[in-house]
Each structure stands twice: as C-alpha cells, then as structure tokens.
Structure 1
Amino acid sequence: MSACPALLRFALPALALALLSAAPAWAQQHCAPREIIVGRLAEKYGESRQSIALSHGNQMVEVFASAATGSWTITVTRPGGMTCLMASGKAYETLTEQLPPKKKDA
C-alpha cells in the first residue's frame, strides 16, 4: 500500500495547521514523548506509520493506521520530540489517485 502523493504534499500539513491552531488546549492534554505515543498506538491499536510530512516550524505530521481494524491516528511531533494526538477514527483506506488530465487552453 502506498500513500497518495497529493495527500502527503498538501492535505496533511494543512490539516495539522488547522488542528494546531484550532485546538491547542486539547492537544496539550494528549501529548507525550514520541516513543511513548508510537508504542501505545502499536500495542493498543495495532497501528503503524502509513505516511509522513513536514508542516510549518519543522513539525512532523504522521498518519498511523491498522490494516486489520481500519483505525487511524494523526500525530504532530514538534522539533523537541513532543508528540501530540491530533485526530483519530476508523475506516482507514490507502488510496493512490492520479491527477486529473490537464485541460487544454481554448
């Protein structure tokens, strides 16, 4: 399974920016060192990293998911190593979509 390049390039950083600016109090309550977060996602939910991108301020945005259960989690890791849970859900699918054909000028 491979991640959609457009998702990596545009959607994940934009989502992280929106979530970071919209819910800083919530994010602060759900943060821990990266190794603890990644370990818990693997042990409790069977999730592994599916995609990665850089956001503003060199923040690392990652999507973790489980192919077995369809659960998913988006995390943001700050340069100092603190990782915050930003969103989670179910019914994760991996897509590889092609860009639409370029339109010819009239």
Structure 2
Amino acid sequence: MTRPLALAALLLALPLPVQAETAPQCAPRDAVMAALAEQYGEARQALGLAANNAVVEVHANPETGTWTITGTLPSGVTCLIASGEAWQSVNESLIPGEGT
C-alpha cells in the first residue's frame, strides 16, 4: 500500500468528529499526531499560522525521509494536506541584496 493510501486508510479507521465526517482525511489532532509518530516515526519539524487561523505543521522522519504536512483548525480537527518522501532539512537565509 502506498504511503498516501496507508494514511487515508488509517484515518478512515479513526473516529471522526461530526464536522469532519465529509472529509475522511481529517481526525482529532491527538489521533493524527499519534498515527504519524507510531506508523512513520514522524515528529514536528516546523509550524506556522495560516490566514484562516489554522496551524500548519510539517512532520518528518529524517532517518526514513517521510514527511507530512497537516493543518489544524481552531476546532481541533487536523487534516492531512500533503505527504511524501526524501525529506531534507535546510537552514537557509537570504543574502542581503539578493532575491526577495
């Protein structure tokens, strides 16, 4: 089973809150975080706040290279946004006068 299909199957097995029943890629945050940690060994690497007040997080396993991006709504429901392989951490900054 491919990674996205495995995540989708896992989340379909989780109990969904009423507001997320039409979105099978969503579940309570604690359940999603536990699944990412237990099944893929992924831990949070970065986070930010989106314009809609959703917390966007990047989770990754540096050893296997798997990664997942999640969005958590103010209601506490977390949805999978994207996932993939070949994760690489970088620490880049703009050089003054180059790019914007």
Instruction: Tell me, yes or no, whether TM beats 0.5.
Output: yes
Q: Confirm whether residue 41 of structure 1 aligns to residue 36 of structure 2.
A: yes
User: In the alignment, which of 45, 55, 72 is matched to residue 67 of structure 2?
Assistant: 72
Cα distance in 1 between the residues matched to 2:85 and 2:54 = 24
Aligned residue pairs total 77
**What's the offset of the Cα at 1:32?**
0.1
Aligned to 1:52: 47
What's the RMSD between the two structures over aligned residues? 1.4
- Which structure is higher in helix share? 1
Structure 2 portions without partners, runs of 5+: 1-21
Cα distance in 1 between the residues matched to 2:96 and 2:23 = 43
User: In the alignment, which of 70, 76, 85 is matched to residue 81 of structure 1?
Assistant: 76
Aligned to 1:6: none
**What's the offset of the Cα at 1:98?**
2.0
Point out 4+ residue stretches in structure 1 off by more than 2 angstroms. Answer: none
Percent identical: 48
